[in-house]
Structure 1
Amino acid sequence: MTGTWRDTLFVWSGDIIIINNDQDDDGMLQWTGSWVGCEECPDARMAATPNAQAFRASDMKFQVSTVPTSKKKDKKKKNAKESLSCLDMTGGSGWDLGDEKEKVRHKDHTHIIASKVSLRDSLVEQDRANQLVVAKGTNDFGGFISAGYIQRSPSKSRLSLILGRRYLDQGDARAKLSEEELYQKIAANNNDKATTGAIPAAPWRTTLMHAEKVSNRGKRKRLSSDESSPLPPLKFASQDDAAFRPTLQFTTNDPSDSKSSPQGTLQEPSLLIDSTVCWLEQCHGCGNQAPNDMACVLSLSLQPNDSAVDKNLSDSSTESLYYCSSDCAMQKGVPVLAKASQEWVKENNKGLVVIRGRRQDSFWQHLGQNETAKQLLRDHGWVMDDDDDNTDPTLGAKGVESS
């Protein structure tokens, strides 16, 4: 532990879009979102991964973009020996730091994002996702390195970039790494980290992203963990109440709003879960760390009705709920879902909400039979077939507005 603010790992998450696009220019890339600090985390391998709720709740926003350069200058900077696509992201309004009363917007002096695939091409080629991305730069607080990935939304309509940023002590040898060297070192330590369930392995969970200073000889004063050892237990940020208390947001893009629907067509409704659980590895029932295999995963899906969606769009919107065990899901998850669904019925005039088990198992196949839980859901408006355990509990009616 360095015992300084550099023990905090800063995780940035936001969407990539193209701005200022015209016939004579490819346009600039803009990355907009929010960041969450994982405090007291000098060992990067112990960094819990914030979930979407944590980023939505964060007051720390950012908006950075590529710096426009002439084609002549781009060609001059190109290095045939390097296989990475590099972007200068020092444009835009910058990023927030400070509390609500003393929030200040800062800008990076240098910020180069590098990946094997072009982020611009990834916006067009919708099959590209979960690609490793690294970055390095400097600002008023010193030098930093980052590691993360690009991720596409389930509906493939959005491309997100998630980066974990570590600030370096003065004289740290990692500041002198080229983008290519940084990429190769991060990639080497992540080759055996496969995706588990719906949770991508966080590329910043590697010794290269530790807070401890690395000398010019490539050594630390001490090494708290190495890549061959098992990942240590996670430490979640303190929460007053870690129990899952979800609210569900139903949204539909308005075709008259050019910002939400640039093509002028009615887009499919989306579903968002807001809860007190802020970490991907955290159980939605009890708040404790869930096992690595995330054995109990439920999904809430919104299947739009005919009046709420363009007939050419049929994908449902899905949010996942993670539990440390099926018992926890049954004892703590189902009662809270039942209670929350009273409000969902009032909000949902978009279609049908369905709870499923992992890998398309039915809800009851996934959790096992429980007549008390069945009756509890039924009392709160959920519909299910008593004679068929392969059916999933549903809320609302397709094509009919819920009362």
Structure 2
Amino acid sequence: MRTRPLKVALLGCGVVGSEVARIMTTHADDLAARIGAPVELAGVAVRRPSKVREGIDPALVTTDATALVKSGDIDVVVEVIGGIEPARTLITTAFEHGASVVSANKALLAQDGAALHALAEEQGRDLYYEAAVAGAIPLIRPLRESLAGDKVNRVLGIVNGTTNFILDKMDSTGAGYQEALDEATALGYAEADPTADVEGFDAAAKAAILAGIAFHTRVRLDDVYREGMTEVTAADFASATRMGCTIKLLAICERAVDGGSVTARVHPAMIPLSHPLASVRGAYNAVFVESDAAGQLMFYGPGAGGAPTASAVLGDLVAVCRNKLSGATGPGDSAYTQLPVSPMGEVVTRYHISLDVADKPGVLAQVATVFAEHGVSIDTVRQQGRQDGGGEASLVVVTHRASDASLNGTVEALRNLDTVRGVASIMRVEGE
């Protein structure tokens, strides 16, 4: 074993960073044995140096992250501060001063992953980021290494624990959205401002990363269709139950049937209870991968939290350190297909549409005509009068597969019917 230690700079020492530092210390001998050399924590960059950080030598703590990554003797920089800046500048500086990088920064990678990969390759460095998607679940490395000889056609997953906890609570207890969100906040699953989670921004960044790796093409955050889950109601869950389904916020990345394009989207959807993702409860994550040769694979586990995410970071750290010792670099950016990202309007799936309509003869015929005029075939229809009377009824239509553009045209036409009082909800039906 080499005796000179590999030096690691840690950028950020919050929930994840503190766990990374703890594991590096408590498992130092095991890590050294697995890598082939000792690993030394050479510095920890933080914003508040006065905060007591148990198990970390105060002499290692600094507020000057730039000076730390520029020191010239750092082998690996672990970036867990998040956000776009200063993370992007610090990562590029690390590459330019001889260090490889392990990151958990999904937002930055979804936005600038291609540029960062290009610079890493130019400088002969590694850029690993298993922890950026689905916490502890090994997913990125299987996609870009284990399945490198296969053709991945679809990635379908629950990649945000906060939203899954909320939807699972709504499903299992009948709670409304706000009630479930309040419980998630009280338990620490949701941030004080949960917008990034419940509006799908977090999941969309992860979808961009997954689509790029799975389909060997460049997919940016702006390419991902995003729809939040704040409008999901108890009535939607009641309808899902009647269909033998539940509701999940899904990240869906697909290769077109003809192979000429890809799509990436995040939105709530009904999925059959028979689908493996339907049984994913609480704050857990799971990703379902469909490929030509391997068939269907499912990756499941804790998708967030300090220790689980640190596990993924340390796995990358071991791989990068091994590469350093051998003088090699691991797999870089693979975007050889250069496939275009199709707009959401071209996505084809099934739909569940709930309408408030006048409770009188002929309404169903009018509604059916609108669907037919827009080329959207109806699978099932359910109509019932409102318990509160008022001359209105609830009409639920489940379609066969149709394009999103056709469905949108149908809904706009329905809104113009005098007999349609309102469109209560529209939800896609996936996983069939």
Query: What is the TM-score with the length of structure 2 in the denominator?
Result: 0.32
Higher relative contact order (CA 8 A, sep 6+): 2
Query: What is the TM-score with the length of structure 1 in the denominator?
Result: 0.33
Structure number with the higher helix fraction is 2
The structure with more radius of gyration? 2
